[in-house]
Structure 1
Amino acid sequence: MIACLRLFTALCLAALLAACSSSPSSSLGELPRTPDASLEQLLQQAAESQNPEQAALLRLSAADLAYKQHNFDRAQQILAQVTLEQLKPAQQVFASTLSAELAMSRNQTKEALVALSHPSVARLNEMPADLQVRSHTVHARALEADGQTLAAARERAAMSQLLTGDAANSNNDAIWSLVAALPVDQLQTQSNDVLGGWMSLARAVKSAGTLADQQNAIDQWRAQNPAHPAAIQLPTPLVKLKELANQPLSKIALLLPQEGQLASVSKALRDGFVAAHYQAQQAGQNPPEILFYDSSRIGSLDSFYSKAQADGVQLVVGPLEKPLVKQLSARSQLPITTLALNYSEASQTPPQLFQFGLAAEDEAREVARRARADGLTRAGAMVPQGEWGNRVLKAFRQEWEANGGTIVGVEHIDKPVALAQQVADLVQLRKSGNSSDPSRRQDMEFIFLAATPQQAQQIKPTLNYQYAGDLPVYATSHVFSASGDQNQYNDMNGIRFCETPWLLNPSNPLRQQVAAQWPQAGGSLGRLYAMGVDAYRLTPSLGQLKALPDSRIDGLSGSLSMSQSQRIERQLPWAEFVNGQVQNLPDTQH
Structure 2
Amino acid sequence: MSPSVRLPILLLLSALLAACASSPDYPKVPPLPGQDLNQIQALLNRAEEAAPEESARLRMDAARLMIAEQRLDEARTLAASLFPHQLNNENKARYALLQAELSLGRNNVLAFTWLDHPYLLAAEESDIRVSASALRARALHLTGNSAAAIDELMLALELVSADQRAAIEQQLWSTLLEMDLAELQQSRDYHNQPYLTAWIELAEILKKPASLASQLERINQWASSWPTHSGQEMLVEIEQIIRESAANQPKHIALLLPQSGNLQAAGDAIRDGFMAAYYSAAETGAELPTLSIYDSEQSTVTQLINQAINDGVEMLIGPLRKGQVDELAAQPLLPLPTLSLNYSSDPQVASEGLFQFGLAAEDEARQAARRGRQEGFDRALVLTPKTPRGTRIADAFAQEWVSHGGALVDQRQFTGENDYRQVVGSLLGIDQSRGRARRLANLIGESPVFEPRRRQDVDMAFIAASAEQGRILKPTFAFQYASQLPVFSTSSIYTGQTDAARDKDLDEIKFTSYSWLLADSHPLMKRIRAQWAQANGNYGRLYALGADAFLLYPRVRQMSRIEGIELDGATGTLRMSPQQRIVRELGWYQFKNGRPVHLEELPPLAAPVTESMDAMDTETEVQPGTVGGEPGSELSPAPGFAPVN
Same-fold call, TM cutoff 0.5: yes
Question: Matches of 1:471 and 1:62 in 2, distance apart?
Answer: 49
Instruction: Work out whether residues 270 and 532 of structure 1, in 8 Å CA contact, stay in contact via their aligned partners in 2.
Output: yes
User: Using CA pairs below 8 Å that are at least 6 residues apart, which structure has the higher relative contact order?
Assistant: 2
Cα deviation per residue 1:450-495 (whole Å; 9 max; x = unaligned)?
23566445435544654656767654344567899999x4895648
What is the CA-CA distance between 1:342 and the residue it aligns to?
0.8
Instruction: Work out whether residues 467 and 495 of structure 2, in 8 Å CA contact, stay in contact via their aligned partners in 1.
Output: yes
Q: Which amino acid is the alignment partner of residue 229 of structure 1? A: S
Residue among 171, 175, 179 paired with 2:172: 175
Say if 1:385 and 1:307 are closer, same or farther in 2 by CA, change over 3 A. Answer: closer
Question: Matches of 1:142 and 1:379 in 2, distance apart?
Answer: 28
Instruction: Work out whether residues 153 and 179 of structure 1, in 8 Å CA contact, stay in contact via their aligned partners in 2.
Output: no
What is the CA-CA distance between 1:274 and the residue it aligns to?
3.6
Say if 1:324 and 1:139 are closer, same or farther in 2 by CA, change over 3 A. Answer: farther
Indicate the residue corresponding to 1:571 in structure 2: 586
Instruction: Work out whether residues 574 and 584 of structure 1, in 8 Å CA contact, stay in contact via their aligned partners in 2.
Output: no
Question: Matches of 1:241 and 1:365 in 2, distance apart?
Answer: 32
Instruction: Work out whether residues 63 and 79 of structure 1, in 8 Å CA contact, stay in contact via their aligned partners in 2.
Output: yes
Instruction: Work out whether residues 325 and 340 of structure 2, in 8 Å CA contact, stay in contact via their aligned partners in 1.
Output: yes
Instruction: Work out whether residues 559 and 571 of structure 1, in 8 Å CA contact, stay in contact via their aligned partners in 2.
Output: yes
What is the CA-CA distance between 1:229 and the residue it aligns to?
1.7
Instruction: Work out whether residues 253 and 315 of structure 1, in 8 Å CA contact, stay in contact via their aligned partners in 2.
Output: yes
Question: Matches of 1:379 and 1:562 in 2, distance apart?
Answer: 28
Q: Which amino acid is the alignment partner of residue 119 of structure 1? A: Y
Cα deviation per residue 1:282-334 (whole Å; 9 max; x = unaligned)?
67655322123455677775x86677567554532123233443454466665
Residue among 510, 513, 524 paired with 2:528: 510
Q: Give the SS at the match of 1:291.
A: strand
Say if 1:85 and 1:486 are closer, same or farther in 2 by CA, change over 3 A. Answer: closer
Question: Matches of 1:359 and 1:278 in 2, distance apart?
Answer: 27
Indicate the residue corresponding to 2:199 in structure 1: 198
Q: Give the SS at the match of 1:233.
A: helix
Q: Which amino acid is the alignment partner of residue 575 of structure 2? A: M
1:587 aligns with 2:588: no
Question: Matches of 1:63 and 1:375 in 2, distance apart?
Answer: 34
Say if 1:262 and 1:154 are closer, same or farther in 2 by CA, change over 3 A. Answer: same
Q: Which amino acid is the alignment partner of residue 338 of structure 1? A: T
Question: Matches of 1:66 and 1:376 in 2, distance apart?
Answer: 33
Residue among 531, 538, 550 paired with 1:536: 550
Cα deviation per residue 1:63-96 (whole Å; 9 max; x = unaligned)?
8679979898888767766545655667667777
Q: Which amino acid is the alignment partner of residue 383 of structure 1? A: T
Say if 1:253 and 1:277 are closer, same or farther in 2 by CA, change over 3 A. Answer: same
Q: Give the SS at the match of 1:589.
A: coil
Gaps of 5+ in 2: 1-37, 438-447, 602-645
Question: Matches of 1:296 and 1:351 in 2, distance apart?
Answer: 25
What is the CA-CA distance between 1:514 and the residue it aligns to?
3.8
Question: Matches of 1:177 and 1:38 in 2, distance apart?
Answer: 29
Question: Matches of 2:491 and 2:498 in 1, distance apart?
Answer: 15
Say if 1:308 and 1:98 are closer, same or farther in 2 by CA, change over 3 A. Answer: farther
Instruction: Work out whether residues 133 and 153 of structure 2, in 8 Å CA contact, stay in contact via their aligned partners in 1.
Output: no
Question: Matches of 2:576 and 2:299 in 1, distance apart?
Answer: 30
Question: Matches of 1:425 and 1:90 in 2, distance apart?
Answer: 60
Say if 1:411 and 1:118 are closer, same or farther in 2 by CA, change over 3 A. Answer: same
Q: Give the SS at the match of 1:269.
A: helix
RMSD: 5.8
Say if 1:374 and 1:587 are closer, same or farther in 2 by CA, change over 3 A. Answer: farther
Q: Give the SS at the match of 1:585.
A: strand
Question: Matches of 1:120 and 1:493 in 2, distance apart?
Answer: 51
Instruction: Work out whether residues 258 and 266 of structure 1, in 8 Å CA contact, stay in contact via their aligned partners in 2.
Output: yes
Indicate the residue corresponding to 2:316 in structure 1: 316
What is the CA-CA distance between 1:230 and the residue it aligns to?
0.8
Question: Matches of 2:282 and 2:381 in 1, distance apart?
Answer: 48
Q: Which amino acid is the alignment partner of residue 187 of structure 2? A: L
Q: Which amino acid is the alignment partner of residue 536 of structure 1? A: F
Instruction: Work out whether residues 35 and 61 of structure 1, in 8 Å CA contact, stay in contact via their aligned partners in 2.
Output: no
Q: Which stretch shows the higher mean deviation, 316-325 or 420-429?
A: 420-429
TM-score (norm 2): 0.60
Which structure: larger Rg? 1
What is the CA-CA distance between 1:501 and the residue it aligns to?
6.9
Q: Which amino acid is the alignment partner of residue 54 of structure 2? A: L
Indicate the residue corresponding to 2:574 in structure 1: 561
Question: Matches of 1:86 and 1:296 in 2, distance apart?
Answer: 74
1:449 aligns with 2:463: yes
Cα deviation per residue 1:119-167 (whole Å; 9 max; x = unaligned)?
368657556xxx9998888777777666665268558857876349xx9
Question: Matches of 2:402 and 2:413 in 1, distance apart?
Answer: 19
Say if 1:205 and 1:385 are closer, same or farther in 2 by CA, change over 3 A. Answer: closer
Q: Give the SS at the match of 1:358.
A: coil
Q: Give the SS at the match of 1:536.
A: helix
Instruction: Work out whether residues 215 and 242 of structure 1, in 8 Å CA contact, stay in contact via their aligned partners in 2.
Output: yes
Instruction: Work out whether residues 490 and 577 of structure 1, in 8 Å CA contact, stay in contact via their aligned partners in 2.
Output: no
Question: Matches of 1:493 and 1:424 in 2, distance apart?
Answer: 18
Indicate the residue corresponding to 1:7 in structure 2: none
Instruction: Work out whether residues 59 and 79 of structure 1, in 8 Å CA contact, stay in contact via their aligned partners in 2.
Output: no
Instruction: Work out whether residues 591 and 597 of structure 2, in 8 Å CA contact, stay in contact via their aligned partners in 1.
Output: no
Instruction: Work out whether residues 424 and 476 of structure 2, in 8 Å CA contact, stay in contact via their aligned partners in 1.
Output: yes
1:343 aligns with 2:343: yes
Question: Matches of 2:367 and 2:240 in 1, distance apart?
Answer: 33
Indicate the residue corresponding to 1:254 in structure 2: 255
Q: Give the SS at the match of 1:177.
A: helix
Q: How does 1:18-37 map to 2 (within 5 A)?
A: none
Question: Matches of 1:153 and 1:219 in 2, distance apart?
Answer: 27
Say if 1:64 and 1:292 are closer, same or farther in 2 by CA, change over 3 A. Answer: same
Q: Give the SS at the match of 1:364.
A: helix
Q: Which amino acid is the alignment partner of residue 343 of structure 2? A: Y
Question: Matches of 1:251 and 1:86 in 2, distance apart?
Answer: 70
What is the CA-CA distance between 1:177 and the residue it aligns to?
1.9
Instruction: Work out whether residues 272 and 528 of structure 1, in 8 Å CA contact, stay in contact via their aligned partners in 2.
Output: yes
What is the CA-CA distance between 1:250 and the residue it aligns to?
3.4
Say if 1:157 and 1:246 are closer, same or farther in 2 by CA, change over 3 A. Answer: farther
Q: How does 1:30-179 map to 2 (within 5 A)?
A: 43=48, 45=49, 54=51, 56-57=53-54, 83-84=83-84, 103=102, 119=119, 123=123, 150=149, 153=153, 157=157, 162-163=162-163, 168=166, 173-179=170-176
Question: Matches of 1:290 and 1:551 in 2, distance apart?
Answer: 26
Q: Which amino acid is the alignment partner of residue 513 of structure 1? A: Q
Question: Matches of 2:88 and 2:371 in 1, distance apart?
Answer: 52
Cα deviation per residue 1:514-534 (whole Å; 9 max; x = unaligned)?
45xxxx767655543443343
Question: Matches of 1:493 and 1:63 in 2, distance apart?
Answer: 54
Question: Matches of 1:586 and 1:391 in 2, distance apart?
Answer: 28
Q: Give the SS at the match of 1:316.
A: strand
Question: Matches of 2:504 and 2:47 in 1, distance apart?
Answer: 77
Say if 1:584 and 1:406 are closer, same or farther in 2 by CA, change over 3 A. Answer: farther
Q: Which stretch shows the higher mean deviation, 388-397 or 545-554?
A: 545-554
